[in-house]
Chain A
Amino acid sequence: MFGEQLVNGLALGSIYALTAIGFTMVYGIIRLINFAHGDIFMIGAFFALSSVTLFNAPLIVAFLVGMAGASIVGILLSRLAYKPLFDAPRINLFLAAIGAAILFENFAMLVWGPQTNTFPVLIDMHNYSILGLKFTTLQVIILVCTIIFMILLHLLVNKTKVGIAMRCTAQDMNTARLMGINTDRMVYVTFAIGSSLGAAAGILVGMYYQAVYPMMGFMTGLKAFVAAVLGGIGSIPGAMLGGLVLGISESLGAAYISSGFRDGIAFIILILILLIKPSGILGKVTQEKV
């Protein structure tokens, strides 16, 4: 039982981690909690689903379609809704993000209907035993995908010119602009990366639970946000760590405390962490200059 829950928690945690990265990257660059991120995760899953059901696309193509589609949505969102508000009070930007979230949820409801769609099983299911823990094929795929994406992201952020420019922009947008970095483009790149990782997570969730529905991004989005805060918002390794911690505590909590309580765990963790260590596990403490 414990082993099973641990593996389940790992899989879930990887998904939260992938989603949390989108939150953390966007927050790092424009200090916005992109509330619509969870819904981009959902849109990505729907794109992938449609490409499978309408065109019989193979899994890998479905992934690419979902991720590409979501990054386009992410870029459009930041360009059309957020860009005009970069200089406005932060709370206006956040309200626009809430608006975007509602828009996406209802857009999906109009296009794909409010019902739950089953994601077709595209792979053969086996059970594996690694280090005494039992994994299903899907769980292995989730873990492997997550690890691959993390490595790619790490390389991109730390080893490429774009990555350096992104980090500069996140640290100080004005200085970055003065140094000749096209900061607007960096914002779009950030949204594109965050959204495509979110979409990947959405597709994995769709496959894991075999369910894709318009409100699927709402809860997962909130939880990924909790994961990002837990790890220290703005920090990419923090998002990974926070995702795993949250996933594992959630599946253990559901197993040993109460399963009806499952969705409450994230919020209790959120409130606790914000009260005890608001900067998160790996975040930096800053004090507002007066």
Chain B
Amino acid sequence: MFFKVLLNLTIAALVLYIVVKFLSMLFDQVTFWVTSLEEKKRRYLLGGFGIFLIALPWLTAGNPYLLRTILIVGIYIILALSLNLIIGFAGQLSIGHAAFYAIGAYTTALLTVSLGLNFWLAFILSFVVAGLFGFLLGVPILRLKGDYLAIATIGFGEIVRLALINGGDITRGPAGIPGIPSPSIFGFVFNDNISWYYFIYLMVVITVIISYNLLNSRLGRGLIAIRDDEIAAEAMGVKPSYLKILVFTLGAALAGIAGSIFASYIHYVNPDSYTYLESVTMLMMVVLGGIGSIPGVIVGAAILAILPEMLRTVELYRFAIYGLLLIIMMIARPEGMISMTSLRGGKKPSWQFLKLGKLLKPSED
């Protein structure tokens, strides 16, 4: 068994290395092509993509399974983008993001099921409560640097999960809370995937716009300055603690929204959905796509949300592969598939890798 697994993982490592290298080239090409388009053509492209998004559920009408996957992808895009605000913009490594996702989900569950509140009120309160937790946690721990912060956030994630399991009658322990109602608006109930699709992707679009607006604002510049060089940022009048807490709160609140949506969509919450590995998955999405790069993070979220569906046969190996992928990404492509620098255009990338016999470079394991 030991050697069989070892062999499988070695093969997986080689395959992953090649895939990462290949995807890097592919994404470089595509990114270069898009960034070098004229402004007008880019608008058309964006418009076309918008129409595609609107039409998407009708294109998949025959396949509920596919549409469901697309919905899950949407939820992960919100999560990954919200984490990207913290990791990508402010440069603060957080590996406990599932905690805020859980807080949002449980807030909605408790308010709708236990208190019988209207979904939309619960939805807004999930945003507020998750943000509040983000703020309360952020104030003490955002003073920590890099890896220390990461470990403190892991600790927070574990504490939240333990609290959910040991929450007695309130959280109903490992069994969780079933029976969360679907939202409805003016008597129209969201009970099919198509209405869910529009709701979720509306939230995705809002999250994307928020991300861009923040990035291109005074605050966004302050954040990037902190990420690039905190000491210089402070010397230029940027107050890091304020911005870090602000963005941590916002990221947490948006994850809370994702949690609220997810809870209501599957009508059920339990602690198993919000583990450390869930936080790691979100981190992986950001890293794979490109830390700080909004299109990158969207692509990363899509790839990693779809991949498990495609890898059902090797489901057991899923997280082992994530672990390998994280290492290989760091070695072969730390900036992610669509990095912030590649989005600024530059030289035309080449297909170097395919020409060279570099395929046989088994130094990564």
Contacts and interface: CB of A to CB of B under 8 A. Distances in A.
The reply to whether A and B meet directly (CB within 8 Å) is yes
B93 A274 contact: no
B317 interface: yes
Interface residues on B, range: 35 or more
Interface string A82-110: 00110011111111101111111111011
Interface in B308-364: 316-317, 319-320, 322-327, 329-331, 334, 363-364
B61 to A, nearest CB: 37
Contact of A222 (B1, B154, B231): B154
Contacts of B280: 98, 102
B100 to A, nearest CB: 17
A90 B231 contact: no
B5 interface: yes
A90 B331 contact: no
Nearest to A98: B326
A99 B324 contact: yes
B147 A33 contact: yes
A90 B159 CA distance: 27
Contacts of B6: 107
Interface in B154-176: 154-156, 158-159, 162, 166
Contacts of A290: 231
Interface string B83-111: 00000000001010000000000000000
Nearest to B154: A222
Contacts of A85: 330-331
B194 interface: no
A256 interface: no
Nearest to B162: A263
A110 B330 contact: no
A202 B132 CA distance: 39
B365 A80 contact: yes
B143 A110 contact: no
B47 interface: no
Looking at A88, A98, A112, which has the most chain B CB atoms within 10 Å of its CB?
A98
A219 B148 CA distance: 16
A111 B334 contact: no
A94 B147 contact: yes
Nearest to B325: A99
A267 B317 contact: no
A260 B334 CA distance: 40
Nearest to A88: B334
Interface of B: 1-2, 5-6, 9, 93, 95, 140-141, 143-144, 146-148, 150-152, 154-156, 158-159, 162, 166, 231, 276-277, 280, 283, 287, 316-317, 319-320, 322-327, 329-331, 334, 363-365
25 contacts: A76-B365, A80-B365, A81-B327, A90-B146, A92-B330, A93-B330, A95-B283, A95-B326, A96-B326, A96-B330, A98-B95, A98-B326, A99-B329, A99-B330, A102-B277, A102-B326, A104-B323, A111-B5, A112-B1, A218-B276, A229-B148, A264-B162, A266-B155, A267-B158, A278-B144
Given A98-B283, A103-B323, 5 more contacts: A96-B331, A102-B323, A110-B320, A267-B159, A271-B141
